[in-house]
Amino acid sequence: MGKGRGCVWKRIAAFLFAVLLVASSASCIDAPRPPDQEKPPAFALLEDFSARMLEEGAPAVLIAVTDGDNTWTHAAGVRSLESGEPVTAADPVHVGTITESFVAVSVMKLVAEGKLDLDTQVSKYLPEFGNVLRPPGPVSVRQLLTHESGLPDFSVPLLTAGSWEETMNRPLSLEQQLALAATEPWDGRLARIFDYSRSNYAALALIVERLRGQEIGRVLSEDIAGTLDLKATRLGGSPPAALVHGYVTIEGTRRDVSMPAWQAESPATGAVSTVQEVNRFYAALLQGRLLPPDSVTAMKGGYSQYYGFALRRWNNTCNNRFYYGLPGDVDGYGMIAVASEDGSKQLALAVAYPPAPPTLDLNPLILEMQDVAQEALNSLCLEN
């Protein structure tokens, strides 16, 4: 809802919002709404976006909005184009690069326990880092978290090593991911700036594994899924039965990318979750239920930064503060998760993209999804 609306309308919309939230279910609203009542603009905006995505060929759209104790959900489309089975808001979906927020929490738990120093060189924790990757200068753990290390992205040589079928079905250990990164030249700039690379989180996950003595999927299960009772959230393992399928097109032929081997356990893009569980994760993180307050502050980044440790920042026009979360983009899927700074309000929007050729670049739809999510959350702040 725009800021220029009158107070009378805002009181009416607030009342309707409360009524709709109480009556919400996995299919949004059970009871029919009288035709002379208008639904809150946030939900109309999200439903319109969902309808347009389906018209453009998206197999599925899933949305969850939480405001305090109230939750509104929306699900449209099918779990797979082959089965035609209707999707539900509780179905798991690939969350793409939101996986990095999970890994960053496990990293910061080690920091809080005094087992890891962010400003220490990576080679202290991974002795082979210097010999295998040959960085042009010192690289700290902090620079991995913020994508300012200059470490080459392993997916570039991976996706040029053979046909799509060969690369997608090639399992890769963390060590193999870094070995692939070593075949690419480092960024030669002296001043480190944000330069996204999946290899950064491969290195971080390997550090976590060495310090915890167990695989990264197991660590995330204990640090996050187990702590918050997130039953659908996982990295690795067999695909969930209700997983929403995503697709790409290769030379005009549609291909299923719901569980490609190369990213099944990728700490940059491989996690599976639901829109509601992603909301619960970010709420718990921002409310200090996963990490100490100073660790949460560090993850948010400095006041002048839009990106911290796997947390991106957007403007919250409700209180002139910020939203935090992350976009998740991977072949076949996009998700945007946005939460208010106090964790009281969250929105997660997931789309199984309209099938298109795979690319290492961001799908343009993820940028539109960010705008829609931010506008929807901003419209929910109503004056009393």
Q: What is the mean pLDDT of residues 22-50?
A: 63
Q: Give the pLDDT of residue 263.
A: 85
C-alpha distances out from residue 96 to 198, 270, 336, Å: 11, 6, 10
* CB of 365 closer than 8 Å to CB of 349: no
Return the percentage of the chain with pLDDT > 70, whole number: 88
- Which residues, in sequence order, are bridge partners of residue 121? 140
140: β partners: 121
Residue 271's nearest CA partner among 89, 100, 91 is 100
pLDDT number for residue 159: 81
DSSP letters of 155-184? HHHHHTSS-HHHHHT----HHHHHHHHTTS
> What mean pLDDT, rounded, does the chain reach?
88
Percent with pLDDT over 90 in the chain? 71
pLDDT classification of 223: cutoffs 50, 70, 90:
very high
Collapsing DSSP to helix, strand or coil, 107 comes out as helix
**pLDDT tens digits, 87-121:** 999 999 999 999 999 999 999 999 999 999 999 99
Q: Is the pLDDT of residue 248 over 90?
A: yes
At 265-306, the pLDDT tens digits run 899 999 999 999 999 999 999 999 999 999 999 999 987 677
Res 72: pLDDT? 95
Residue 104 CA: distances (Å) to CA of 46, 83, 205, 216, 277: 29, 36, 9, 11, 17
Residue 382: is its pLDDT beyond 60? no
Q: What is the mean pLDDT of residues 320-336?
A: 95
Query: What does the pLDDT read at residue 62?
Result: 98
Report the phi/psi class of residue 349: left, alpha or beta, with left for phi > 0 and alpha for psi in -120 to 50: beta
pLDDT, one tens digit per residue, over 359-373 is 888 899 999 999 999
Flag whether pLDDT at 230 surpasses 60.
yes
Contact 141, 120 (CB under 8 A): yes
Please, are residues 243 and 272 in contact by the beta-carbon 8 Å criterion? yes
pLDDT at 169: 85
Asked if pLDDT for residue 5 goes beyond 80, the answer is no
pLDDT at residue number 77: 98
The answer, yes or no, to whether residue 124 has pLDDT greater than 50, is yes
Q: What is the pLDDT of residue 114?
A: 97
SS3 41: helix
Cα distance between residue 382 and residue 384, in whole Å: 6
Report residue 176 as tokens: 């193999």
Residue 52 contacts residue 77 (beta carbons within 8 Å)? no
Dump pLDDT digits (tens) for 151-208.
Answer: 999 988 988 877 888 888 888 999 999 999 999 999 766 567 889 999 999 999 999 9
To which residue do tokens 């082979």 refer?
128
Residue written as token pair 């490609």: 260
Check whether 130 has a pLDDT greater than 50: yes
pTM across the whole model: 0.88
The enclosing H or E element of 210 equals helix 198-212
Taking only the tens place, the pLDDT of each residue in 40-76 is 889 999 999 999 999 999 999 999 999 988 899 999 9
What is the per-residue pLDDT for 191?
60
Output the six-digit token pair for 351.
């789309």
- pLDDT of 348 > 90? The answer is yes
Check residue 13 and give left, alpha or beta (phi > 0: left; psi -120 to 50: alpha): alpha
- Model pLDDT, residue 37: 53
Cβ–Cβ < 8 Å for 295, 204: no
